[in-house]
Amino acid sequence: MYEKQRKAIDAVVKTVEGSWFGVTRFSASEEKAVAYLCFIIKDHPVTDGNKRLALLWFKIYCEVFELRPQEPEYGYDALAVGIEKTKLEMDSLLEAVKLILFGKVDMYT
């Protein structure tokens, strides 16, 4: 029963942490934090609680790597709902969320 969920979470981790042909897609800690947040919400790796899981993962990741995201004035919960409902392409979504939380752009430089 849980094997499918474990594999789905493993796929998210491999996507964020992995490299292909020596190229790492997410090199900065801020990029990885945002990628975990967005991929967990958009990919729905668990049966229920994906937004809660994504926010918890994001907050723990930021704490471990001493990142200081700026909580949106409308709150993290509303941001998570916005991520879930958006029709943006993933690269555009990642860049927008990074800008909201860390005030940075140019995700892949």
Give the pLDDT of residue 79. 97
Domain ranges in the chain are: 3-102
Predicted structure pTM score: 0.89
Determine the CATH number of domain 3-102: 1.20.120
- Could you tell me where the DSSP H helices lie in the chain? 3-17, 29-43, 50-64, 76-85, 90-102
pLDDT of residue 2: 86
What local confidence, expressed as pLDDT, does residue 1 receive?
58
* pLDDT tens digits in sequence order for the chain, 109 residues long: 589 999 999 999 999 999 889 899 999 999 999 999 999 999 999 989 999 999 999 999 999 999 999 999 999 999 999 999 999 999 999 999 999 999 965 544 4
